[in-house]
Every structure is written in C-alpha cells, then in structure tokens.
Structure 1
Amino acid sequence: MKRPVLAPSLMLFGALAFFTAFFLAPFAVVIFASLTKGADQAFTLEHYVRVLGDQYHWDVILVTFRIAALTTLISLLLGYPLAWYLVRVVKWRAWRRACVILLVVPMFTSNIVRSFGWMVLLGRKGLVNQSLMETGLIDTPVRFLGTELGILIGMVYILLPFIVLAAGNALAQVDPAFEQASEDLGASPRATFFHVVLPLTMPGIISGSIMVFTLAASAYVTPALLSGGRISVLSMLIFQQYSSVFDFNYGGALSVVLLIFTLVMVGLAGRVGSIRGSNP
C-alpha cells in the first residue's frame, strides 16, 4: 500500500505556525507598542522622535555598531587564516577533528560563564596583565574592563567560531583544480589566492560575517559584564527599559531602531559581497 504524500503546504504549516507564533506575533506587539502611548493606545511617533532626536542615543548607536563592525573585522582576520589552516594545511584527520571540537565545544557553554571568565582574565591582577608584566611589555596593569577593548576581546572569543566554520566550509568546496589551472597559466600563489580562491569563498565569508555582525550588534551579556556599566550599547538600553523602567513603548522603539539599523547594515554588506563576487 502506497503511503500518502503530504502536500508541500501542509509540510510547511508547522514551520510557518512556529515562525508566526514566536517571531511575527511578538514583533507585531513590539511595533504596536512603539507606535502607541497612554492607556488609550493613541498613535504617536513620540518614542521614535525621542530616540532619533537625542544625541545620546546616536552616540549609543555609534558605539553599538562600531563594536559590532570591529568584532566582525577582527574575527574575519583571525578566523579566515584559522579556517585555511584546518582545511588546507592539516592533513591528519584526527588532528583536524580535534581542532574543530576545541573550536566548537566552548559554544555549548553559556555566554555568561565565558564572560565571567574573561572578567577574571582581564582584571588588573588577572592572567593577561600578569603575563604582560612578567614579559616586560607593560610596567603597570592595563585597564581592560570597562573599555571597548575588553568588550572586543570577549566578543571576538565568543563569535570567532562562526567565521571559522563558515569560511572553512567555503574553502572545502573549492576545487583544487581551479588553483592548479591558475598556476599552470603562470599566476603566482598570491594572484591565485586573490583572484581565484578568495572570490570562490566570498559567499562563506559574507554569511559568516553577517552572523557575527548581527550577533555582536544585539549582544547584551558580554558588553554588560565586560563594560561594568561604563559603556552602553542599544541592547543594554532596551533591557533597562523592559526590566527596570517598564517603559515598553520606549523600549519597543529602541528595539525597532536596532533591528532597522542592523538590517540596513546587513543589506549593504550583502550587496557589496554580491558585487565583489560577480567581479573578481
């Protein structure tokens, strides 16, 4: 007896229902709250005017996306060579698997735990400062906590695996025959990399960078702990409005602004990546 085949629309119903219930519906509530005011829920743009008309909020937005952009750039500069090492240099499969496990295992640990770990390491008497002083690189402890540098260190550590995995997967898909053909035609290894390998791995680079950027722009735990409250990002303002001030209308406006700015940045990155990929 032949088993009945479910229609594609029915197969997608569960996913669409989940997406609607846990994303679209809450997002609609946030947008509605950001556009209303008072007990009568009167329509207003006051909350957006408050966010976009205050220099303090623009400074917070600048800090938020500066940290996200620097986190993405540093993760890419560190992650792509590491992905190259794992895919192209390591020949022993057991060692490659061990490296991947070491890279992925920390992702199963809470960001709170890892951020607290960095608070210990980056303290004035932490391992990092002690090591720098013992090697003679510094005479007095460097203040990492409460600075953007400290936040960047923690963010790069937490988000680096996304770049490595995405770029490594793209590198693994590149056929070595393309590189051999390039070398046979007289191209140098440097030219082969920049004109053959890099454009072919650009989709992986762009996808990994987008993941890192969006996660960094919306991160709360790591900036909150490593900044010690001295540096504010949008996620911290949003959390404060929802958990302490209980101003859901203003918090909703902040959330929508963060989402819109992030989508604009991601769209620009995707556009630049598609142009770069089509014109190697």
Structure 2
Amino acid sequence: MFTSRLTLLWLLALPVCVFTAFFLMPLGVVLISSLSTQDGQFTFAQYGRILMDGYHWQVIGVTFRLAILSTLICVVLGYPLAWYLVRIVKWRNWRRTCVILLILPLFTSNIVRSFGWMVLLGRTGLVNDALLGAGLIDRPVRFLGTETGILIGLVYILLPFTVLTIGNALARVEPALEEASRDLGAGAARTFFSVTFPLTMHGVMAGGIIVFSMAISAYVTPALLSGGKVTVLAMLAFQQYSTVFDFNYGGALSITLLVFTMALIGFSSWLARLGAQDMKGN
C-alpha cells in the first residue's frame, strides 16, 4: 500500500511541478506586478485606473462584444456543419476529407491567415469584388479597421473548434433515443430540442468556452484586421508590455481580463446547466 501511494505521488509530482512552474508562477508574477508600484509598494491604483476610466470600459465592451458574437456565430454555424458530418455524410472517405479540410487551416499560423483575410477583405479584394459582381452593393464595403472585419477573421479561425466538439457530442448520442422519441409521437423538431440538443449541450458548452476563451484573448487577428482603429484589451496589455514598458499597468490589464472572462464563463455555465435541467424536466 505504501509503495503504491509513493508511486502515485511520484507520477503526480512531474505534472504538478510543470503546472506550477509554467502556469501558477507566471500568473503569480503578473498578479504581484499588478498590485505594485514601480518602487515595489503595494497598491490598487492600477485597478482604480482601469475601472474608473470610461476609455477602459469602452475597450472592455468591444473585447467582450467581439468574443460573445464570435462564440454565438461559431455555435450557430458549427452545429449544422457538425450535424452534416456526423448524421448526413455516410461515405467515410468523404467525411474524413471534410474533417481534414476543416482542421487543415489550424496548421497555419494565425498571422498568415489574418494577412490572407486582409487581402480578401480589402476594397479591391475578392469579397468586395464578389458582392459588386452579384449586385448586392454599389461600392466597396469597408471591412478592414472595423469590428465586422475582426469578427469575420475570428469566426474563420475558431469555427473548427466548435465543429469538432459538437460533432464528438453528436456521435455519442444513441440513435435509439431519438427513434423512441419519434415512436412516442414527437416530431423532428421536438425530438431535437427535447432529446438531441440536451444530450449535446456539454459539447456546445465545451466548444463555446474554447472559442470564447481564444477570442477574448486574441491579439494577432484584431491587431492586423483592425489596422489600429479598433482596440481590444489584449492589444492594450501588449502595448504596455512591449512599447510603454509599464509592467504594473499591463499586469493589471491582464488580471482584469482574466477575472472578467472567468466570471462570464462561470455565469454562462450556470445558465446552461439550468437550461439543460429545464429541458430534461420537460
């Protein structure tokens, strides 16, 4: 018994040390820096500077608006695509091809993909040319330097994560449960909302949390597609570290982003659990 416990402790020691060294310690350094002045004195002044200034709330609003919209759009687009791959595609080779095409962009740097969207979304880019050719617009639309352009880039980059997580959840749903619902007189829509969707809610939540976490901390895509005209919190923190060299203020921005993110994720998870319980109850 003692030997098995000692072996277990040794097995846990390495991951705990890695987690402490590469996650907890850097986070602790940032937290201490955010609560200190340049002279090393303890202070909450950096947080007061953030929370009492309207500009910072505007940046926080833009950051969370882009992250929430990216998450919602990815879930709305990702669920039908996951349904197509799991439930509709019967030919295994075609399903594999679709999955490869879906994850292939993930092997490319975000910088390269963002530069690609800069070309596509330009005034003479493919998107404007297509819209002009279809007669949907009379003159080129300005995408770059706007929240719309950033949103398009974020959705393109993050959509595969929702498709994969929702598809995995759909694959685990037993078809017999849906067949039983239809045999009891439920239509396709009621079967989906009463049986299928609640059983895949964990996949939707997992994909949404992944997308939201990556979107809210994204720097490269907003920085390139905004052209400096739209600022998110990650860009503001990076400027403090790389240009101004105000590590205390940059640390406070980073911790503020982390706290707001965790609070919103926790709140949305609580709402999702309540919704899932109501669906199962009905």
Pairwise CA distance, 1:95: 0.3
Matches within 5 A, 1:31-46: 31-39=31-39, 41-46=40-45
The answer to whether residue 253 in structure 2 is matched with residue 254 in structure 1 is yes
Aligned to 1:43, what secondary structure does the other structure show?
coil
Flag structure 2 segments of 5+ consecutive residues without an equivalent: none
What is the distance in 1 between the residues matched to 2:114 and 2:8?
A: 44
- Verify: 1:47 aligned to 2:46, yes or no: yes
Work out the CA distance in 2 between the residues paired with 1:109 and 1:37: 40
CA contact (8 A) 1:37 1:249 kept: yes
Whole-angstrom CA distance in 1 between matches of 2:12 and 2:211: 28
Return the alpha-carbon distance in structure 2 between the equivalents of residues 160 and 258 of structure 1: 23
1:66-215 residue pairs with structure 2 within 5 A?
66-215=65-214
Partner of 1:22: 22
Q: In structure 2, give the amino acid aligned to 1:17.
A: C
| Corresponding residue SS for 1:42 | coil
Instruction: Kindly provide the CA deviation profile for residues 171-206 of structure 1, in whole angstroms up to 9, marking residues without a partner as x.
Output: 000000000000000000000000000000000000
> Does the 8 Å CA contact 2:145/2:228 hold for their aligned counterparts?
yes
1:218 maps to which residue? 217
- Letter of the 1:160 partner, please give it: L
Structure 2 partner of 1:242: 241
- SS of residue paired to 2:200: helix
Q: Post-superposition shift, 1:60?
A: 0.3
Measured after TM superposition, the shift of residue 278 of structure 1 is 2.0
Tell me the SS of whatever aligns to 2:210: helix
1:137 Cα shift? 0.9
The residue type paired with residue 249 of structure 2 is Y
Post-superposition CA distance 1:230-249 (Å, at most 9, x none): 00000000000000000000
Where 1:38 maps in the other structure, the secondary structure is coil
Aligned AA (1:11)? L
Give runs of aligned pairs for residues 58-69 of structure 1, distance below 5 A.
Answer: 58-69=57-68
Amino acid at match of 1:33: S
**How far is 1:38 from its partner?**
2.6
Deviation at 1:7, TM superposition (A): 2.2
Consecutive unaligned residues in structure 1, runs of 5 or more: none
8 Å CA contact 1:203, 1:273 repeated in 2: no
2-structure distance, mates of 1:119, 1:217 = 20
Alpha-carbon RMSD: 0.9
TM-superposed deviation, 1:10: 1.4
Q: Is contact 1:87–1:171 with CA below 8 Å preserved after alignment? A: yes
Shift of 1:269: 1.4
Residue of structure 1 in register with 2:275 after alignment? 276
Aligned-pair CA distance for 1:138: 0.9
Task: Find the residue that maps to 2:209 and give its secondary structure.
Answer: helix
CA contact (8 A) 1:34 1:250 kept: yes
Q: For residues 214 and 244 of structure 2, what CA distance do their matches in structure 1 show? A: 25
Output the amino acid matched with 2:147: E
- Structure 1 letter corresponding to 2:258: L
Counterpart-to-counterpart distance in 1, 2:61 and 2:141: 25
**Contact residue 38 and residue 248 of structure 2 kept, 8 A:** no
